[in-house]
Amino acid sequence: MSKGPKYRRILLKLSGEALMGPRQFGLDPDVIRSIAGQISEVHRLGVQVAMVIGGGNIYRGSNGSSAGIDRVTGDHMGMLATVINALAVQDALEKLEVHTRVLSAIEIRQVAEPYIRRRAIRHLEKGRIIIIAAGTGNPYFTTDSAAALRAMEVRAEVILKATQVDGVYSADPKKDPSARKFDSITYLEVLEKGLKVMDATAISLCMDNHMPIIVFNLGRRGNIMRVIMGETIGSVVKE
């Protein structure tokens, strides 16, 4: 008898860069279709999926501030970029006949519902995938922090951090061939070593609320399903 999914409710954190594919900027429709296909396969197993999407493929507030744009204005521009990405992923999922809702932390009612915690949980219970856009709605907070916050709010069992590398390394494996991969690492070690898993605010929030993070490579098709089924993929950040 085949075993069922290990997790019943997950929060998947997608960076904006994950939607670029090989491009330098913007969206790659083939990559988005592939990601949507993997998510729909997991959803068909009865897993409740919440997603938080970044906007770095279009605009990053911290980059804007170095170019002379006010940081708060730049962060609001970045939030709008995440709404664009959320709509693109929603479109791909709905073409696969998966019911979705985009929930935005800043009000933009013509294209997205406002993020309301109880409504978000209700959508999950009704079998809809929720795509949470606009970060926390506040400047100076990254979408990593938003992912940690929303995971707690909707009572997800785990954060799945989809990246372009296959786990957490002691250094950037693309630049340092001697970089060592961690199968498991504690929140405190991530903070002490300054590892680029999620920002310090997000890691601290997960540590305080005992929320495990699994970091894995999105580039290999089927990895989302492997994580859901409990296979040892990537790196686990936990207590």
Could you report the per-residue pLDDT of 162-216, keeping only the tens digit for each?
988 889 999 888 888 899 999 999 999 999 999 989 999 999 999 999 999 999 9
pTM: 0.94
Q: Give the model's confidence band at 2: pLDDT under 50 very low, under 70 low, under 90 confident, else very high.
A: low
- Please check whether residue 39 is in contact with residue 92, taking contact to mean a CB–CB distance below 8 angstroms: no
Q: Is the pLDDT of residue 61 over 90?
A: no
Q: Which CATH architecture is the domain 9-238 placed in?
A: 3-Layer(aba) Sandwich (3.40)
Question: What are the DSSP E strand ranges found in the chain?
Answer: 9-14, 48-53, 100-104, 113-114, 129-133, 158-163, 168-169, 181-182, 184-186, 213-217, 235-238
Distance CA 205, CA 153 (A): 12
> Smallest Cα–Cα separation from 44: which of 220, 225, 214?
225
Per the CB < 8 A criterion, the answer to whether 151 and 136 are in contact is: no
* pLDDT greater than 70 at residue 161: yes
pLDDT in tens, 90-131: 999 999 999 999 999 999 999 999 999 999 999 999 999 999
What is the rounded distance in angstroms from the CA atom of residue 14 to the CA atom of residue 150?
A: 14
State percent of the chain over pLDDT 70: 98
- Domain positions in the chain: 9-238
- Cα dihedral 36, 42, 48, 51, rounded to 10, equals -30
